[in-house]
Each structure stands twice: as C-alpha cells, then as structure tokens.
Amino acid sequence: MTGRLAWVPVFAEFLRRATDGAIAEVSVQDHVDPLRKILRVRLRPGWSDKNFNPVQGVAHAFAKANDCAIARAIKRPGEILLDVLIKQRLGPPMARNPYGDLG
C-alpha cells in the first residue's frame, strides 16, 4: 500500500498481533469518491460482538494519526467494514503507528 494509506499494513499487523491472529485479512477496496476507501477486516470464526468496539477504537487511532478519518464502521458476520476518509489526496506516504513501536 502506498500513498495516504501506507498505514494499512501497519494497522493490519498491529491487529494480528493484538488479537493473536484472529484477524484473517485486511484489504482495501475502492470507493466511488477518490478520497474514500473501504477497509475490509475479515475475522476468523469465534469473534463475538464484544470484540467490535476495541477494533473500531484502534482503527480510529490509526486513521487519526495518519491524517484520515473513519467515516463509518459497519459490523457484519465475519467482517468489519471501515469507510476511510482521506483528508488530503496528495502528500508523502504516511505509516504512523499511534501506539509507537511495541516491539
């Protein structure tokens, strides 16, 4: 991932490590609006609704640290869809981790 969404692989790895591998996949889908993207977080079986809020909180923190915003979060069986708003289209790639380097 390049450009303004260079933080997505860092976010995906952070989630995988924080959930002991419960995140199956994080992918990016295009949106009609070029300043919006859809992040699809696929979950492994066994995740319950109580796990949704912490994942959503981490997503908001990563987006904010990288000049993006989560416009909407949708919970579906087996996945979470995050509607990401990119605040600036042009600029250097951003891959900041709001929690620092946790090793």
**pLDDT tens series, the chain, 103 aa:** 657 889 999 999 998 888 887 888 899 999 999 899 999 999 888 776 667 788 889 999 999 999 999 999 998 888 899 999 998 777 777 888 888 765 4
55-64 in b/e form (b: 16+ CB < 10 A) is bbebbbbbbe
pTM here?
0.85
Architecture of domain 3-86: 2-Layer Sandwich (3.30)
Tell me what pLDDT residue 103 has: 45
How many Cβ atoms are within 10 Å of 13's Cβ, its own excluded? 13
Tell me what pLDDT residue 48 has: 63
Tell me what pLDDT residue 94 has: 80
CB 78 within 8 A of CB 15: no
CA 85 to chain centre: 11
